[in-house]
Structures are given as structure tokens and as C-alpha cells.
Chain A
Amino acid sequence: MTILELEKQANEVRKGIVEAIHAAKSGHPGGSLSSADIMTYLYFEEMNIDPKNPKMENRDRFVLSKGHVAPAYYSALAHRGFFPVEDLLTLRHTGSYLQGHPDMKHIPGVDMSSGSLGQGLSCAVGMAQAGKMDQKPYRVYALCGDGEIQEGQIWEAAMWAGAHKLDNLTVIVDNNNLQIDGTVEEVCSPYPIDKKFEAFNFHVINIDGNSMEELRGAFAEAKAVEGKPTAIVAKTIKGKNVSFMEDVAGWHGKAPNDEQFAEAMADLEKAGEALCQN
């Protein structure tokens, strides 16, 4: 896809996020919107996957270690054809397969259940290790939050991945700088994130995680790295493209009411129209 096509797709993914969370009356819009470009790039450009055959043996694997941004994940999967887009409106409803956090047993395309912060990266490391042992061609991607990396298990996993030279693993840190209780620095600073991953024997790439151009460059670079896993530190804006949610910690885990929903959708419509002018 061209950069413009990817940007338009990401805008559709964002609409799905807002619609799903509004329909659920709960959920995590801030981080879902910050990571929407990453998720779109992975599912529409980067990963070798087949929506008609979600369990394809040599598919690339993805683990959403920051499982609370499930709406972004589900919206990308739905728009990519893994399940009907209409189903996004059942998010978090009793009986829906679209659980509040990813559930690999019931959701087509979900490779690992996740949601308890800090655990997903280890699972991705296990998948990458299995690929190495069986000399499989697939790659493994994991998306972590910048708050999530306060969990010690992330660094246990990073230490192991670096020590075992898992160059089929790419970790993306969605660095939107906010967590529930405030900025990541106010709570417990994870910075410098890049230097930490470097110290754990990762190849590190710093980018603007809301730029398709930069995402393209980073993922291409990661693929070419040999003998080291890659960490992409993706600087993003929490709540990206919904004006009143941008860079506001309060929108970490709260659903918009009907009025706010209309405003958010108007913002995204506008963003879509702007992309069509190009």
C-alpha cells in the first residue's frame, strides 16, 4: 500500500476504535488511538498473514502485550477481514467473543491472550524461539506500552531475547508518555527507553510512531538486522486525531458519551476528508 492508502486505512481503524468503545461504554481509547498507525502498518503492510486462514502455519505472529488497547487490535483485524467490522460494536458485551482484553481461544487472528501487563513479551519471545528451533521463516512482533515496561517481566524477556539473539523478534514500544496516573515520568520514569533496550542487546530504532513513512523505514530496518532482536521506540500521541483526547491522561480508560462520540467521529471524518484532498 502507499503511504496515503495506509493513512486512510489507519483513519478507518480509528473510527472503529471510537465506535467500539462508545458501544461498549468502557475501554481504553487513548492508547488505542496512539497505536492505531502501528497496528494498521503491521496488519495491512508488514505481516505475512491470511485472514481466511488465521492459523496459517508460517504466519507472522503478533502479541499485544499492552492488551488493554484491544480496540485498536480488533479494529485492525476486522478491517483486514478476520471477522465482520459490525462485530466491533459488541466489544465488551456479555457473550461477545470480543473480550475486553485479547482472547486467543475465541478471536480469529489473535495469536496470544494478553492483558495482564508485562506478560505478553515473554510469550512473543517463546514464539520467536520456536521459530528459531524449527528454522521457520516467520517473524514475531510484540507491542508494549511505555507504562507497561515498568513491569519487571518485560526486562526478563528482553534479557533472554537479547542473550539468545532472536533477530526474528521486533518489539514496538508505544511511547505516548502517559499512563493512568499521569505522565510516565511523574509515575516512574522508564526513560531512556532506547538506551535500556540497547543495554539488553537490542538493535534500537527511534521513530515517530504516528508516521507511516517512519514506520515503513523502521520495520524494513528491523527485518535486515541479524543476530539481535529489534526494539522500535515509537513516539506517539495518546488519543491521536481525536482533538479533545490528544495528550490527556484522563482518556486512558474512559468511553466517550454520545456527545463526545459525535465530536470524535466528526474529527475523524475531517481527518479522512483531508487525506482525500491529497
Chain B
Amino acid sequence: MSELKQTEKIATRESYGNALVELGKEHEDLIVMDADLAGATKTDKFKKAFPDRHLNCGIAEANMAGIAAGLSTCGKVPFISSFAMFAAGRAYEQVRNSIGYPHLNVKIGATHAGISVGEDGATHQCLEDLALMREIPGMVVMNPCDDVEARAAVRAAYEHVGPVYLRFGRLAIPIINDRETYKFEIGKGVVLKEGCDVTIFATGLEVNEVLQAAGMLEKDGIKPEVINIHTIKPLDEELVVSSVSKTKKAVTVEEHSVIGGLGSAVCECLSEKAPAKVLRIGVQDVFGESGPAEELIKKYGLDAESIYKKVKTFVKEH
């Protein structure tokens, strides 16, 4: 972990494409599927390396989910790739009934999640996918925070037997984890900073924003504990409870609706096991809009500065 060394930036969709090529070399049963977005989901690299194991389903995500289900019953391990809006949204019921209900070994690589899609605007900015996927029994839901973690998550998804939803972004983001020492475990949160005044749970690209916000809070004498929740389901309840039992206050930060995602998952856990005041930072039950990704992140209050201000007020008031 070296949050100060933020020179290299890479979008996690790139990490997805690169990790698939690496895994493809090791595993003959790995199949990559697309719905006419291989250039955008970055799976075109896999297509180039393993043309016989890449299936383009055309613009038909529901069918892609079903074909993947059928392939998996015959021993293949398909990774279906599309934008989060279409992978989790358009094909929701296929994912639920054809993949989730029979608990098939299909992996869903959903890129272009959140408002950081940018200029394409609200129709393509999926802010509900974590909620949709988290509801499906047996579904593992991951939202990695940088290139290092994203590659590790793809590998973990392959190794896990059962359906997995992987959330990736379009925007290039800093690498904050150490390539050499990073270890990934499904369902285990990562304490990035120890503190005693408030616990900030962050996921995806918000982890980096939160680390920067934490630096600002420390200058004001507030010591936040920062925890990266890369697996939204199963949630690391033990860590959530133990940290908040110490700090007594929790903040969740995600590039997702405040309804149904990380904020909800943490609230569900705490309200039952360790009631505490929670501030949910995310998109506030509204649709997104067009604009450059960084500007939207600021406008919707998901940048380090905005997070710093909100957490500071929250800590003072409670």
C-alpha cells in the first residue's frame, strides 16, 4: 500500500482484459463472451490471443447470459462481458433464473459502471448493479479499487466455483496497491489505515478518493479508519462490526446509488450486530448525466474534497 505513489493510472476494464489473457493461457476451459463491446470491455485482447475461445453474441445480452449458462453445464467457465447497465440491468432476469438459480459457474464482467462512464450520460451509467446482483442468492459481488486488485479479483472469480459479478470502470484510476505483496481473498475487507474516530468503508474507485480525504481529515486532527470493501457480497461482517465497535461511527463511500449497494450492506450488518450512526456517501437516488468523468465525480460529491467535508461535519455532529 503506497497511496502517495500515484503516478500510474489504469482503468479496471483494462485490468479485466489483461487478466483474462493471463488466465486464458493457464485454463483451456475459460471462454470469453461479448455483446458487440469487446473493444470497450477490453476483451478484444483475449479475442486476439484465443480466437477460438471468444464468442461474440452480438447485441443480445439476455441471450449471452443464457448461452453462458448452457456452456457452463458442459464444463466451460464463461466470462460474459458487457457494460454494467446491460450485464446486470438488461439481463437481470436471465442472470437470476438461468445462472443464479441453478448456481452455474458463470462470471459476469461488467465494465463501465457508475457515473464515471462520463459523457454517454444517464442511460449508460449504471448505479444500481450492486443492488441487483447482491440480491441474488449465491452470487459473489466484487468491486475492485485498482489494477492490482482487479486482476486479482478476476483470478479469484475464476477459481471460485459458482456465479460471480465483477464490477469494473471506464475511467483510468491510480494504482494504490503493491503489485508484489498484494493478496486478495474473496469476502475479506482490507484495512488501509487504522484510526479511532470514524470508520470509512470505501469500494471501487472511491477507495483512492477516501484515502486522499483521510489525509485531509488527519490534518484536522480526525483519525479515520479506512477499509476497502472489494467484496460487497459476502460482506466482511466481522471486520465491519469490529471496526465500528471501536470507532462508533461509520461512513460508506461508493460510486453507486446509496440505495442497495455498499451503504445498504453495511447498514444491514450494523443495525443487527452493532448499531451505530452511518453516513452513506454515494449517488443520492438520482440518475446521472453527461460530462467528463472527473467533473461528474466532483458534481455528485464523490471526490476527496467533498468526502472530506462531509465526513468532517458528520464526525463533529455525532
Type the 1/0 row for B49-64, where 1 means its CB is closer than 8 Å to any CB of A. 0001101011010110
Is B216 an interface position by the 8 A CB rule?
A: no
Residue from B53, B66, B103 within 8 A of A123 (CB atoms): B66
A131 to B55, CA, bound (A): 14
Secondary structure call for the A interface: helix
Contact residues, A118-153 vs B (CB, 8 A): 118-131, 133-134, 136, 152-153
Q: Complex Cα distance A115/B93, Å?
A: 12
Partner of A122, one of B52, B74, B75, B98: B98
Q: Is the beta-carbon distance between A126 and B102 smaller than 8 angstroms?
A: no
Residues of A within 8 A of B52 (CB): 133
Bound complex: CA A259 to CA B256 (Å): 57
Report the separation of the CA atoms of residues A122 and B106 in the bound assembly, to the nearest whole angstrom. Answer: 14
B residues 25-82 near A (Cβ < 8 Å) are 31, 52-53, 55, 57-58, 60, 62-63, 65-76
Please name the residue on chain A nearest to B59 by beta carbon: A156
Given the known inter-chain contacts A116-B97, A119-B97, A130-B75, please indicate yes or no for A156 contacting B60, CB distance below 8 A: yes
**A122 close to B55 (CB less than 8 A):** no
B: interface residue count bin: 20 to 34
Closest chain B CB from A127 CB (angstroms): 4
Interface check A195, CB cutoff 8 A: no
Give Cα A24–Cα B25 distance, bound, in whole angstroms: 51
A156 and B69 contact, CB distance less than 8 A: no
Bound CA span A212–B40, Å:
51
Complex Cα distance A159/B69, Å? 18
Is B287 an interface residue when CB atoms closer than 8 A count as contact? no
A: contact size bracket: 20 to 34
Number of A-B contacts defined by CB within 8 Å: 104
Q: How far is the CB of A256 from chain B (nearest CB, A)?
A: 29
Q: Does B125 contact A (CB under 8 A)?
A: no
A-side contacts of B228, CB under 8 Å: none
Contact A104 B74 (CB under 8 A): no
Contact across chains for B66 and A157 when beta carbons are under 8 A apart: yes
Contact A105 B103 (CB under 8 A): yes
Question: A116 and B73 in contact (CB under 8 A), knowing A105-B103, A129-B55, A160-B63?
Answer: no
Q: Are A112 and B70 in contact (CB under 8 A)?
A: yes
Cα A118 to Cα B53 with chains together (Å): 26
Question: In the complex, how many angstroms separate the beta carbon of A143 from the nearest chain B beta carbon?
Answer: 15
Interface of B is mostly: helix
Interface centre among A61, A125, A156, A159 (most CB of B within 10 A): A156
Is there an interface contact between B58 and A159, defined as CB atoms closer than 8 Å?
yes
Is A113's CB within 8 Å of the partner chain B?
yes
User: Hey, which chain B residues are within 8 Å of A111, CB to CB?
Assistant: 73
Minimum CB–CB distance from A70 to chain B (whole Å) comes to: 14
In the assembled complex, which residues on chain A have CB atoms less than 8 Å from the CB atom of B98? 112-114, 116, 119, 122-123
Contact B97 A126 (CB under 8 A): no
A63 partner residues in chain B, CB cutoff 8 A: 70
| Whole-angstrom CA separation of A203 from B245 in the bound complex | 66
With A105-B103, A160-B57, A160-B63 in contact, do A127 and B97 touch (Cβ < 8 Å)? no
Interface-central residue, B60, B67, B75, B94, by most chain A CB under 10 Å: B67
A105 to B69, CA, bound (A): 13
> Which residues of chain A are within 8 angstroms of B62 by Cβ–Cβ distance?
118-119, 122, 152-153, 156
Q: List 28 A-B contacts (CB under 8 A).
A: A105-B102, A105-B103, A112-B69, A112-B70, A115-B97, A116-B97, A116-B98, A118-B62, A122-B62, A122-B67, A122-B94, A123-B69, A123-B70, A123-B98, A125-B67, A126-B66, A126-B67, A126-B69, A126-B71, A126-B73, A129-B55, A129-B67, A130-B70, A130-B75, A133-B53, A153-B66, A156-B60, A160-B58
